[in-house]
Amino acid sequence: MALKNQYLADLLETVKKRNPGEPEFIQAVTEVFMSLEPVAEKRPDLVEAGVFERIVEPERQIIFRVPWVDDNGVQRVNRGFRIEFNSAIGPYKGGLRLHPSVYLGIIKFLGFEQIFKNSLTTLPMGGGKGGSDFDPKGKSDGEVMRFCQSFMTELCKHIGPDTDVPAGDIGTGAREIGYMFGQYKRIRNEFTGVLTGKGLTFGGSLARTQATGYGLCYYANEMLKANGKSFEGQTVVISGSGNVAIYATEKATELGAKVVAMSDSNGYIYDENGIDLAVVKQLKEVERKRIKEYLNFHPEAKYTEGCKGIWTIPCDIALPCATQNEVDAESAKTLAANGCYALCEGANMPSTPEAIDVYFENNMLYGPAKAANAGGVAVSGLEMSQNSERLSWTFEDVDNRLKNIMKEIFKSCDEASKEYGMEGNYMAGANIAGFLKVAEAMKAQGCV
Ligand code: NDP
């Protein structure tokens, strides 16, 4: 679908010319612009204030060399990124992705999405994202530590508890955050909440590990409730078996659903009796093994090589929790044909634009990532608050706040979709509600 609003259509052309070779970033901007057409019509003051032009241009882009020495004494070099996209409503905030597919376009798409997601949480956080093309898989602890120390040696010049507060993402879990925090503290000689997702012994928040997966299910639950449905007795397929997927599986099961499939980048398991999460946690969180090994514990389950087939498993609710563009139009059509009526995104931008069209054509309930997976950054915001007051809250306290935040996020998506004449389109609702708060702040702060 093409943009009808001429101003936004022209601006999108400029964005394409100015950011060549970055399809994921263009995809993210296009999706947001599609939703913002009625805003551009209704709010000429925001157009005049140049908000649309400014919001698609990162405030700062940092690219740096990350040299480190492997276990054989060989010098290796990776590329590090930090995109400080928008600080209108708070310090830059967003995770660090460590994956061989990382390049500027991926970090820019993630940073752009983060602006709206952070705004939706109602907490004062701007948008940022970073990472490296370093692959922690198959590396020793020593190699990961040397990489993280080298990465932070440069990154520490640009971040700070009131400036820019990174967190985890794909490939960056508690181990990596620990090494990075240690190096920051050593170089800067200060103990501050400069990173979130920290270990519980040095300023981490209870429930941060669970936050994105739990938050996803809280959001999905609100969406289901608003449409007369619930998780109770439903069959659920969840892609990925990392941080988000594991805790989405835990919460969906707690809410009465049966999760029958999970995956990693090699393939997927199907267990019609319901996934044994204790086994997945042991394999993934403790032993860092492949999902295939699940069969050693449950030989009755099935393993299939390749990721895409997971969407051919019949289910009521699908929760993609692995990576961008993992659900294409063909997979979306198969899901709908097999009776899947709701899809809620744990990963960032897991659906291609064509897949999203299929959801709407089939009247599926669609919970977009920037709203549905905002629980992680919301609890990161709560970790920042606890660090500032040098206190730690109980698990129940943080979990209750998370639940309320996810409820409020769903409410703002729902209300914005109604106000702008697109009832039930939570993607448009999320983009509009997230955008408006940042846009008002940018307008009020003048041309900066
Ligand atoms: P993890 O690294 O813990 O897990 C990622 C999972 O996805 C793994 O099972 C991994 O398999 C799989 N995966 C990664 N890349 C690919 C790929 N190219 N193709 C197929 N499978 C892949 O990451 P998270 O769980 O933290 O993140 C998952 C998604 O959720 C990402 O999109 C992330 O941006 C998003 N997200 C995460 C948040 C958080 O708090 N952690 C917050 C908000 C969003 P393998 O191990 O084989 O690589």
pLDDT above 90: percentage of residues in the chain: 100
User: Which among 118, 169, 291 is the best mutation to test ligand 1's pocket, defined by most ligand atoms within 8 Å of the CB?
Assistant: 169
Using the atom order of ligand 1, give the atom closest to the CA of residue 322.
Answer: 7
Protein residue whose Cα sits closest to atom 28 of ligand 1: 322
Q: How far is the CA of 40 from the centre of ligand 1 (A)?
A: 34
Residue 106 is predicted with a pLDDT of 98
Protein residue whose Cα sits closest to atom 46 of ligand 1: 264
Q: How far is the CA of 245 from the centre of ligand 1 (A)?
A: 8
Q: How far is the CA of 102 from the centre of ligand 1 (A)?
A: 13
Q: How far is CA 245 from CA 9, 105, 123, 236, 441, in A?
A: 36, 24, 24, 12, 34
Rounded mean pLDDT, 174-186 = 98
Q: Indicate the angle between helix axes 174-188 and 141-155, nearest 10 degrees.
A: 50
Rounded mean pLDDT, 399-413 = 98
Tokens representing 256 are: 């009465």
| Dihedral over Cα of 82, 87, 91, 95: its sign | negative
Residue 114 is predicted with a pLDDT of 98
Q: Is the pLDDT of residue 439 over 80?
A: yes
Using the atom order of ligand 1, give the atom closest to the CA of residue 374.
Answer: 43
pLDDT confidence band for 184 (50 / 70 / 90): very high
Using the atom order of ligand 1, give the atom closest to the CA of residue 290.
Answer: 47
DSSP string of 64-119?
A: EEEEEE-TTS-EEEEEEEEEEEE-SSSSEEEEEEE-TT--HHHHHHHHHHHHHHHH
120 close to 409: Cβ distance less than 8 angstroms: yes
pTM for this one?
0.97
Q: Which residues pair with 161 in a beta bridge?
A: none
Give the C-alpha separation, 426 to 412, whole Å: 9
The gap from C-alpha 147 to its chain's centroid, in whole angstroms, comes to 23
Residue 116 is predicted with a pLDDT of 98
Protein residue whose Cα sits closest to atom 34 of ligand 1: 348
Q: How far is the CA of 321 from the centre of ligand 1 (A)?
A: 6
Which SS3 state, helix, strand or coil, does residue 271 take?
Answer: coil
pLDDT in tens, 358-378: 999 999 999 999 999 999 999
In 227-374, alpha helices (H): 243-254, 277-281, 329-337, 353-361, 369-372
User: Which among 172, 247, 323, 328 is the best mutation to test ligand 1's pocket, defined by most ligand atoms within 8 Å of the CB?
Assistant: 323
Protein residue whose Cα sits closest to atom 33 of ligand 1: 347
CB-defined site of ligand 1, < 6 Å: 168-171, 212, 240-245, 264-266, 307, 321-323, 346-348, 373, 376
AA letter at 330: E
Q: Degrees (nearest 5) of the Cα angle 31, 33, 39?
A: 135
Residue 208 is predicted with a pLDDT of 97
pLDDT in tens, 60-102: 999 999 999 999 999 999 999 999 999 999 999 999 999 999 9
Give the C-alpha separation, 91 to 84, whole Å: 9
191 close to 368: Cβ distance less than 8 angstroms: no
The DSSP code for 269 is: E
Give the C-alpha separation, 92 to 158, whole Å: 11
Q: How far is the CA of 243 from the centre of ligand 1 (A)?
A: 7
Gyration radius from the chain CA atoms: 21
Protein residue whose Cα sits closest to atom 37 of ligand 1: 169
Q: Is the pLDDT of residue 222 over 80?
A: yes
Using the atom order of ligand 1, give the atom closest to the CA of residue 171.
Answer: 2
The DSSP code for 242 is: S
Q: How far is the CA of 296 from the centre of ligand 1 (A)?
A: 24
Using the atom order of ligand 1, give the atom closest to the CA of residue 211.
Answer: 40
| Element at 387 (helix H, strand E) | helix 375-389
Rounded mean pLDDT, 153-177 = 97
Protein residue whose Cα sits closest to atom 5 of ligand 1: 242
The DSSP code for 266 is: S
Q: How far is the CA of 358 from the centre of ligand 1 (A)?
A: 24
DSSP string of 283-316?
A: IIIIS---GGGGGGT-TTSEEEESSGGGGGS--S
Please list the active-site residues.
Answer: 129
* 382: Cβ contacts below 8 Å, ≥ 6 apart: 123, 205, 393, 398, 401, 402
Residue 141 is predicted with a pLDDT of 98
